[in-house]
C-alpha cells in the first residue's frame, strides 16, 4: 500500500468516524472503499457516453418536430387511476 495524507473538513471527519464505527472497519478502509466506488462510477459514465450522445441526438431531433398535432388523448389523472386499479392502492 501507498501512504497518502489528505486534509478533510470537520464534517467529513465526523461522517468518516461514524461510518467506520457503523461498519466495524477502519477509517482508512472507508476511504479506500469510497475511492473504489468513485472510480467505478467514473468508468461507467465514460462507457455510456456514446449511448447518451445517441439519446441526446434523438431528443433534439424529436424536439425539432415540435408538438404532436392534436395533443395527447389522455389525462395524467387517468393514467394514475388505471395504475391504482391494476396494482392496488
Asked if residue 85 belongs to a domain, the reply is no
Its pTM stands at: 0.50
* Cα 17–chain centre separation: 25
The pLDDT assigned to 72 comes to: 76
Is 51 within a domain?
yes
Q: What is residue 76's predicted lDDT score, i.e. its pLDDT?
A: 82
Q: How many domains does the chain have?
A: 1
| Residue range of the domain that includes 39 | 7-64
Instruction: Determine the Cα–Cα distance for residues 22 and 59; give it in Å rounded to an integer.
Output: 44
Q: What is the pLDDT of residue 23?
A: 96
Separation of first and last alpha carbons in the chain: 54
Tell me how far apart the alpha carbons of residues 23 and 17 are, in angstroms, rounded to a whole number.
10
pLDDT tens digit at each of 89 positions of the chain? 999 999 999 999 999 999 999 999 999 999 999 999 998 877 766 667 788 889 999 999 999 988 878 777 878 888 788 778 888 76
In a domain, 30, yes or no: yes
Amino acid at each position: 500500500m501507498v501512504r497518502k495524507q489528505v486534509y478533510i473538513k470537520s464534517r467529513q471527519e465526523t461522517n468518516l468516524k461514524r461510518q467506520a464505527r457503523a461498519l466495524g472497519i477502519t477509517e482508512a478502509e472507508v476511504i479506500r472503499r469510497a475511492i473504489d466506488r468513485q472510480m467505478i462510477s467514473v468508468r461507467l459514465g465514460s462507457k455510456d457516453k456514446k449511448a447518451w450522445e445517441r439519446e441526446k441526438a434523438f431528443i433534439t431531433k424529436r424536439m425539432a418536430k415540435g408538438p404532436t398535432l392534436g395533443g395527447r388523448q389522455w389525462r395524467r389523472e387517468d393514467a394514475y387511476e388505471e395504475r391504482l386499479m391494476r396494482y392496488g392502492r
